[in-house]
Amino acid sequence: MDLSQAKHAFITGGASGLGLGIADALARRGVAVTIADINEDSLKEVLATRGNQFRGVRLDTRDRENWQKAKAEAEAAFGPVDILVNNAGISPNGREFADMDPESFDRILAINLVGIVNGIFAFGADMRERGNGHIVNTSSQAGLTAGIPGVGAYSVAKFGVTSLSEGLRVEMEPHGVGVSVLCPGYVQTNLGANTVKIGGDIRQYTAAMPESDVTPADVGEMVAEGIEQNAAYILTHKDVWPGVEKRMNAIKAACDYRRNA
Ligand SMILES: NC(=O)c1ccc[n+]([C@@H]2O[C@H](COP(=O)([O-])OP(=O)(O)OC[C@H]3O[C@@H](n4cnc5c(N)ncnc54)[C@H](O)[C@@H]3O)[C@@H](O)[C@H]2O)c1
C-alpha cells in the first residue's frame, strides 16, 4: 500500500511498546492514528505527548461489542480505517503444558489469538468492500518456531496468528487488501508489567530475557516498510531462519519418509 494515500490507522495495544512504535512511524508518514488499548492510564500518558493526529479509545480486544463501539468512534473522528494493526498481546506465562493453569492458557488464547480474529470481524468486510487497505497482525518468532519450555501457550496463539494471516492474505488479495504478519524477536517493552496489570501470569518469563538491540521505534519503521511492500512476513531480527529451517527439515524428512515408504 502506498502510505501517502493512507489516512487512518487503527492500532490495538497502541499505547505501549511495538504498537506505539508503529503508531509513531505511521504518524510520521502523515497517517492519523487511533490507538486502542485496554490501559486507560497508558492511553492518557501517550496522548498527552502527541498532537491532534492521534486519538485514543479504550478497547479490550476480547470484547466484540466494544470493538463495534471503538470502530464507530474512531471512524467518526478520522474516517474509514485504511490500516488495521492487530497488535495487542500479553506475554508467555512461563508454564509448561503439564503445569498449566487453564485460566492462564485461556487468557493468552483470548487476547493473543481471538482478540486478533475479533479485529478482522470488525474491519475485514468493510476493507474488502472498499477494495483497499492493509492489515498487520502481530505474531512472534514464537509463531514460526516452537519448543521453548514455558512459552507453549503463547506459541499456540502466535502460530494461530501466523496461520490466520496467511489464510487472510489469500482471501483478501483479490480485493486489493494487503495482509502482513509481524513476527518480532525479543524487543524490550513493558510486555511483562502490562501483562501483570491486566491479571496475567508471567512466572519465570521475565528473568530469562536477553538484551535486545532492536527498539520499538525500529519495529515501527520495519512495519511501515512492510506495509508499503505488502510483505507477507515482517521479521525484526536476523537470526530467525535456523529455527524455521530446523522445523521445515523435520517436516521434509517426514514427507520423504512417507513418499519412500
Ligand atoms: N516485546 C517483544 O519481545 C515481543 C516479541 C514478539 C511478539 N511481541 C508481541 O508484540 C505485541 C505488543 O507487545 P509489546 O512487547 O509491545 O508489549 P507492551 O505491553 O509494551 O504493549 C502491549 C499493549 O497491549 C495492551 N493490551 C494488552 N491486552 C490488551 C487487550 N486485551 N485489549 C487491548 N489492549 C491490550 C497493553 O495494555 C499494552 O499497552 C504483543 O502481541 C506481543 O505478543 C512482542
pLDDT tens for 227-242 read 999 999 999 999 999 9
What is the rounded distance in angstroms from the CA atom of residue 246 to the CA atom of residue 88? 29
- Mutate which of 114, 151, 189 for ligand 1? The one with the most ligand atoms within 8 Å of its CB, which is 189
* Spatial distance between the Cα atoms of 114 and 116, rounded to a whole number of angstroms: 5
Q: Give backbone dihedrals phi and psi of 21, rounded to 5 degrees, phi first.
A: -60, -40
The whole-number pLDDT of residue 204 equals: 53
**Counting atoms of ligand 1 from 1, which one is nearest the CA of 13?**
24
What confidence tens digit (pLDDT) does each residue in 192-216 have?
A: 999 999 999 887 555 556 678 999 9
Question: Which ligand 1 atom is nearest residue 212's CA?
Answer: 3
Order of all β-strands in the sheet with 54-58? 54-58, 32-37, 8-12, 83-86, 133-138, 177-183, 233-235
Catalytic residues: 154
Q: How confident is the model at residue 157 (pLDDT cuts 50, 70, 90)?
A: very high
Residue whose CA lies nearest to ligand 1 atom number 36: 13
DSSP-based three-state secondary structure for 7: coil
Domain range summary for the chain, segments of one domain joined by +: 3-260
Percent share of the chain, pLDDT over 90: 93
pLDDT digits (tens, 9 = 90+) for 39-88: 999 999 999 999 999 999 999 999 999 999 999 999 999 999 999 999 99
- Computed over every residue of the chain, the mean pLDDT equals 95
Q: How far is the CA of 254 from the centre of ligand 1 (A)?
A: 35
pLDDT digits (tens, 9 = 90+) for 97-146: 999 999 999 999 999 999 999 999 999 999 999 999 999 999 999 999 99
Give distance in angstroms: CA of 250 to centre of ligand 1: 31
Asked if 82 and 29 touch (Cβ cutoff 8 Å), the reply is: no
What is the mean predicted confidence (pLDDT) over 92-96? 93
Residue 251 near residue 201 (C-beta atoms within 8 A): no
pTM listed for this prediction: 0.97
Helix segments in 115-213, DSSP class H: 115-130, 152-172, 191-197
Architecture of the 3-260 domain = 3-Layer(aba) Sandwich (3.40)
